[in-house]
Chains A and B, each alone.
Chain A
């Protein structure tokens, strides 16, 4: 009896969540493939999904990192837009004037975008890790702040007409695989390595489980938290560049609904909103689930509003499920600690 409990409670619990998600993913896939074989189950649809999934998945991975430490980063979309805008601004400025080799300007522009993202991440780190501002408030403030700065600089206009070479990244393929997908795989592997195979990753989980105990264990909890927001800023800037590259434009108000979506994805993906647990695989599977639901509803000609309802519904359902499972788990732990 005890043995079975402990299996459910350990690392396998996370695996079990992944298993559940895989089954859900497969189920939804089969459902839509069956009900809408002419629109959903087509190469075109799969292709379009594989260009849309990476952006939201990368943003979600960014949210996941801060959430594992018990915080949250609401400023990801603002950061990604700010990064995309500054990169696009440099590209349009220099390409139209010089007309020469734009490729090195593209690289410089991307670099600048990434630097902007990292700087924004540092602002969040400063607020959350060093000034102890509650993460949800700190990043809500910086979300508005970054967004406001972006609107101010561009006068609220979007920047469009980006060079072809740049657009090839967001719309092209790499050995037959859509480039954004390749980028996502690289990022997923990188973050997976970071959280599972480095000491920083281990600390991220420990700080997220019990910050007080982390302080008493002297693991530099501030530094750990600072790193997650910095990396979150970095990943957001990559997502921003990807979006700009796919849509050939950058605008300060792009993807404002993405932040809610990213949180839905992360929670659905099994990340514990109060910190301590989360997997990259879970987040990617959850992105796939939601994207399939979106495409599927589209294919079945359900209205947009129905999709929003189901998105919110999923979030509420998963939260309730988590609470129920948590209660059961706590009860079992208590019983066990009394038993031995």
Chain B
């Protein structure tokens, strides 16, 4: 490990455990002012814990935090801000009901402990901050009405305004087009040239290579590689991140020719979110749907399942037209839907694994007298825990006790239990470890082989290429392009997206 002793910002030998679990075991990191450093790592590698320690959210069990001349054994959030540590999270933590100017200026007032606000000064502070990073945005616009890319720039302006010395950006490019990323990088370059130690948290290797000078790769709470960016090859980064040579070979099963259609969507429209969406899926086919955040991909998926309003269009399932805007009709027709956020939309966190497994179509577990058959519940629970290899000792444990990958399997199982003809999966492997990801994709493959049709909505391009027979790209609510099995490769898909 090449520890540079003159480094100005970073941590030394940080250990942090939650309960019995080590999230970070002896991590060191050093970032010079005026450089862009990358922290790369899979989900669960300890990236977010590290950010939280440096921004004062968590206290480390041991180790040192170095911020310029000063060292700390732990920080409070206020101290972190005072020492110039700023984090831009993926949701930017902006207040949508306030204007751009107010969003930029408010933290400044808070830091100064002012009790009164002046409108003129607010605008002044904001205008200066935006000018400093060379960005031109209408400061009187409500934040709710501006684009995601602009929100990001506002968050940067806000940070620089607070005298930022170390700036963390957590997955900043997830929702941006290629053009917007370019602009973001120009701003990052501005910020860097002012002597800010900038930390870029990402796993998109192309972007990391473009913008970062140095890199630290984390895996399972340890630093597995670090050094100058130019010394790293693309494969070296990805191998360091995963620790194994993960084969991203296609696992999609061979598609049998079939004239039948499980679902036929015609001209589905809800303006302005999406319009004229038409496609059909054959039995056993896995259709990928991708697009940037805000492209309408999620709304489209939810519309098919009756959770997002549809203005016009038709959906036929197994040749029969189904009533739109009704989830219960979609369910009856045999459509299942795994929503993108498993914690708030997919799971009943405090309830048992068993109760979560039977939450779809509960009435099927009724015995003749209308009673809930405990025996059938237990059978169903045992079956799915075994089938999907959910790691638990007791199905009566709360589902919150499971890891991300196992929780996702519970959500999957809950829908597979009703034996759908078409399963819509929205972000099926978000936030699960790489091993679980592979297993979840294999579950999809196995069901497809049995004839179940799938729509996989995802922004994880390699994953789509691995599992899908066809991918459609949504742009501004329209299908911008459809890729057949033969045409699928990362390069063209990324190009189409941006």
Contact = CB atoms under 8 A, between A and B. Distances in A.
B246 to A, nearest CB: 21
B393 A6 contact: yes
Interface in A274-300: 276-277
A335 B20 CA distance: 7
A190 interface: no
Contacts of A277: 350
A218 B328 contact: yes
A108 B486 CA distance: 77
B398 A9 contact: yes
A213 B363 contact: no
B363 A216 contact: no
A337 B399 CA distance: 10
Contacts of B344: 210, 212-213
Contact of B359 (A10, A219, A336): A219
A99 interface: no
A333 interface: yes
Interface string B304-348: 000100000000000000000001101100000101000011111
A339 interface: yes
A134 interface: no
Contacts of B17: 335
Nearest to A333: B400
A83 to B, nearest CB: 27
B115 interface: no
Interface in B355-380: 355, 358-363, 365-366, 370-372, 374
B350 A198 contact: no
A9 B351 contact: no
Contacts of B21: 335-336, 338-340
B350 A216 contact: no
B397 interface: yes
A11 B20 contact: no
Interface string A173-199: 000000000000000000000001111
Contact of A339 (B18, B337, B346): B18
Given A6-B393, A210-B348, A213-B359, A199 B20 contact: no
B402 interface: yes
A312 to B, nearest CB: 28
A288 B143 CA distance: 55
B398 A10 contact: yes
A189 to B, nearest CB: 14
Contact of B397 (A6, A202, A212): A6
B351 A205 contact: yes
Contact of A337 (B328, B374, B402): B402
B403 A202 contact: no
Contacts of A198: 366, 370-372
A216 to B, nearest CB: 5
Which residue among B394, B396, B401 has the maximum number of chain A CB atoms within 10 Å of its CB?
Answer: B401
Interface in B56-113: none
A203 B362 CA distance: 8
A220 interface: yes
Given A202-B355, A331-B19, 17 more contacts: A6-B394, A6-B398, A9-B397, A10-B398, A197-B372, A198-B372, A201-B372, A202-B362, A210-B347, A216-B327, A334-B18, A334-B19, A335-B17, A337-B402, A338-B18, A339-B18, A339-B20
11 contacts: A9-B401, A10-B397, A199-B362, A209-B348, A210-B348, A213-B346, A215-B327, A217-B359, A220-B328, A332-B19, A336-B19
